[in-house]
Structure 1
């Protein structure tokens, strides 16, 4: 990872941590005061987001420090480890909230002051929406799995805030209808519906991180780009060698590509290998990842 990308990554994660701390404190205090399960979940989720952001920030700084003896293959593997932890923790929070919502539904619902809750929801929507927009925009400019994961966290928080605000508006309107007695079920019902929806995002984060840790094949788009690049170089080169893609994996911000080189003559010149390596790097440079290219002489 280049120094500029690393610096921007730290700045973005620091910004995210400061913003998450404000939402965490506000959500926990107001959720407890008005007795809302959904607002409490929003506060807990923001607190978890803060702790996970601090973890990402710490790992981002640690990745930049030299430690060749402990990590001879580099520290890129720490990135999917952090993302796997994030996905697991968020999945646990959503699962517990789902359980709490079910219990509340069977215990007669929860009465909430919808007016105060709605005001808090509007503030949350504006704040979380800005954070999501800002970090998502930055993630397109700087390739970083940690920033992408951070963007997904704020995406969930924004959608959660929108759902909470809309739900409390509906609950407030129900109090003026003949079904006012059922307004107490609005809070746990919103939590129930949101849990089923939000459980997908941390599951996908955890799945993708585990795939990287197990050195499984990356996305189809990456595989297709690498395969096309290798095929193009093999076709365009005038050298007396053939090249074949042996394997491709993505670990954190690194793209690891293994190439088998088949010589048509008895000797392979070093200059030929260097020319082929340069051509491959040029073809694969369109991918916003740190290319780690390994070339093996195959028999």
Structure 2
């Protein structure tokens, strides 16, 4: 990873950590004050986001430290490991929140000061939306699995804040209606609905990370782009080229290409190098660090 990209990644992660620390402290304190399960969850989620962001920051710095003797094949594998840890932790938090919500529903609900909670929700929506927008914009400028995972964390936090605010507005309205007795169920019901929705995002993160850790084929979109470039070079090369494997690990794109020759003659080293340069020139346009392997096949 180039120095500039590494610096940009670190800046985004530090920004995310600072913002998450503010939301974590505010959410935990206010949630305990007003007795809201949802706000406490929001604060706990922000606190865990902070710890996971610090983990991402440490991983980013470690990946960019030279250590060829310890990792002769590079440290790209660290990135999907970190993302898998983040996904598992978020799944555990959502799972526990789901359990707490169900328990509250069967034990008479939870009474919450909806007016203060609504004000907190509005502030949260504004702050989380800005963080999501800023990190997602940075993620488009330079490819980084850690930053993409960070963007998904803030996306979940933003949607969570929107749902919380909308729910508290409804609960506040209920206190002035004949349905006031049911307002105590608004908080655990919101938590229940959000848990079912939010479980998908960390599950997808974990699934994608496991694909990389198990060295499975890259996504169909990446494979198609690589195949198009290999076919374009195949039409120009003297040898026959066959794409045999495409795997994405962290920011590395590992590509295996078989070079076929006629049994009547051998492949000259110069011809092979020329083919390699053409492939590399085309495939380097993809937003990943290229690891290209050419295998001579009869």
TM-score of the pair, normalised by structure 2: 0.98
Q: Does residue 1:282 correspond to 2:286, yes or no? A: no
The Cα offsets for residues 136-155 of structure 1, whole Å up to 9 and x where unpaired, read as 00000011000000000000
CA distance in 1, matches of 2:13, 2:276: 35
Partner of 2:203: 203
Q: What is the deviation of 1:270?
A: 1.4
Give distance in 1, aligned partners of 2:112 and 2:49. 25
Shift of 1:66: 1.3
Question: The residue matched to 2:245 in structure 1 has which SS?
Answer: strand
Aligned length: 297
Structure 2 partner of 1:19: 19
SS at the partner of 1:108?
coil
In the TM superposition, 1:117-156 aligns within 5 A as: 117-156=117-156
1:108 and 1:213 map into 2 onto residues whose CA distance is: 45
Equivalent residue number for residue 256 of structure 1: 254
Moved more, 256-265 or 2-11: 256-265
The residue matched to 1:67 in structure 2 has which SS? Answer: coil
What per-residue deviation string (whole Å, max 9, x for no partner) do you get for residues 30-52 of structure 1? 00000000000000000000000
Write the distance in 2 (CA, Å) between the matches of 1:3 and 1:270: 34
1:49 and 1:277 mapped to 2: Cα distance? 43
Distance 2:244 2:272 in 1: 16
Residue in structure 2 matched with residue 28 of structure 1 by the alignment? 28
Unaligned runs of 5+ in 2: none
Residues 126-166 of structure 1: CA distance to partner in whole angstroms, max 9, x if unpaired?
00000000000000001100000000000000000000000
Query: Equivalents in 1 of 2:283, 2:220: separation in Å?
Result: 15
Cα drift, residue 243 of structure 1: 1.1
1:209-220 equivalence runs, <5 A: 209-220=209-220
For 2:29 and 2:73, locate their aligned partners in 1 and report how far apart those are by CA, in whole Å.
45
Query: So what's the TM-score if we normalise by structure 1?
Result: 0.98
Counterpart Cα distance in 2 of 1:196 and 1:246 = 40
Q: Name the residue aligned to 2:266.
A: 267
* Local SS of the residue matching 2:266: coil
Shift of 1:297: 1.1
| Pairwise CA distance, 1:282 | 2.2
From 240, 245, 248, the equivalent of 1:242 is: 240
Give me the whole-angstrom Cα distance separating, in 1, the residues matched to 2:8 and 2:170. 41
Where do residues 1-299 of structure 1 align in structure 2 (5 Å cutoff)?
A: 1-237=1-237, 239=238, 241-264=239-262, 265-299=264-298
Per-residue deviation at 1:88? 0.3
